[in-house]
Amino acid sequence: MPHSPSRGLYAITDGPRNDLTHVVQEALAGGASLLQYRDLSDDHARRHAEAHALKRLCDQFGVPLLINGDAALAQAVGAAGVHLGETAEDLAGARERLGAEAIIGVSCFDSIERARSMVSAGADYVSFGAFFPSPTLPRARLASPELLRQSAALRVPRVAIGGITPENGAILVDAGADYLAAVSAIFGSSDVRAAARRLADLYRPSPNEFLHDHQP
């Protein structure tokens, strides 16, 4: 994926909320590797102001900022890219607007066929899920971890989303998820930094794994 870490925690905001910049800073301090600004309201002035503020924060931490579903806003604030939920036509338009170096990701739900189509159309990553019942995606079709294994041949990063917690996320990492995306598990926590750290730690090798990998 252009200009992004190869694996890690993908934090997705749950605005609107008055403490948005504070909790995002805590998530970034806890180890988030990517941030998506997700606000589906039509308050354009607030969304622009918040996206600008989050871009400044992400720059401080060296973390790419993506905007959910709004390539124009991504362009306006200089975000790293956009996350799309619908069609290849949206992807083509976003690519034309944002350029070849932008990160463009696409939701593929529980469909390997859709993922293949989106990668062929130029997606930089695909996301699958919900993998578990999710308060953010209550009507989402549930995907199987096997989908992550099947999609390895796509040769783009794969994001897992939906009901992910520190307790169940390791299953998805083992199945091949390059990123674990979380909303409520991070931003619904009373300690956002610690919640982010616990999820990010699923990508850090245990001491035993490190020793095994570095044996002479």
**Residue ranges of domains in the chain, CATH in brackets:** 8-213 (3.20.20.70)
Closest Cα to residue 147, out of 116, 170, 120? 116
pLDDT above 70 coverage of the chain, percent: 93
CA distance 96 to 72: 11
pLDDT above 90 coverage of the chain, percent: 84
Tokens at 17, concatenated: 């909320």
What's the pLDDT tens digit per position in 91-139? Answer: 999 999 999 999 999 999 999 999 999 999 999 999 999 999 988 777 7
Residue 207 has pLDDT above 60, yes or no: no
Q: What is the pLDDT of residue 139?
A: 79
CA distance 200 to 103: 21
Neighbours of 141 (CB within 10 A): 11
Q: What is the pLDDT of residue 137?
A: 75
Q: What is the pLDDT of residue 138?
A: 79
pTM: 0.93
| CA distance from start to end of the chain | 32
Backbone angles phi, psi at 7, to 5 degrees: -155, 160
